[in-house]
Amino acid sequence: MRTPLYTTEILRLAASLQEMRELEREDGRAELRSPTCGSRVTIAVELDDERRIRMISQQVHACAFGQASAALLQQNAIGRAHEEVAEALVTISRWLSQEQDESGDWPGIAALEPARQRKSRHGAILLPFRALLAAIESAS
């Protein structure tokens, strides 16, 4: 029997995604769109004095994989620096493309395992991480 594409865990994560909210102070913002699947993510960040993520707000228009990835990003981004998010993006990308077996240390990302066999879903999964990096980079 074939494993379902959207597992209960993926759907639970997608449903847990919070709506975009206004931040007390917006230091950076980015909106990115995936040309392969049409997913769109807008992220606003508030950074602390060390340029670590203090608050995050995002609006996500994506499939369940993109929503689940954005939810995992939202749940685990606070306190992280640009370098940590960049490293996670590279690791997750290599894992999705099967260049490596380990999914890395971003909490919960292994739940997206069914997407490894479906390259068309990779862009939606990586998009929230790319948008977060762009938002941090846009901060003055």
CATH number of the domain within which 111 lies: 3.90.1010.10
- Tens-place pLDDT, residues 48-99: 999 999 999 999 999 999 999 999 999 999 999 999 999 999 999 999 999 9
Whether 131 is in a domain gets the answer yes
Q: Which of 23, 112, 51, 52 is nearest to 42 (CA)?
A: 23
| 1: pLDDT strictly greater than 60 | no
Domain that includes residue 100, residue range: 8-138
pLDDT at position 38 is: 86
Q: Is the pLDDT of residue 6 over 90?
A: no
**Is 134 part of a structural domain of the chain?**
yes
Q: Confirm whether 2 is domain-assigned.
A: no
Say whether pLDDT at 140 is over 90.
no
In a domain, 40, yes or no: yes
Q: Which tokens hold the place of 17?
A: 């995604």
- Asked whether residue 19 is assigned to any structural domain, the reply reads yes
Element (H, E) at 53: strand 53-61
Count CA atoms closer than 13 A to 31's CA, side-chain side.
6
pLDDT of residue 3: 66
Q: Is residue 1 part of a domain?
A: no
Q: How many domains does the chain have?
A: 1
Q: Could you give the CA distance from residue 38 to residue 41 in angstroms, rounded to a whole number? A: 10
- What's the pTM? 0.94
Residue 91 inside a domain? The answer is yes
State which amino acid sits at residue 38. G
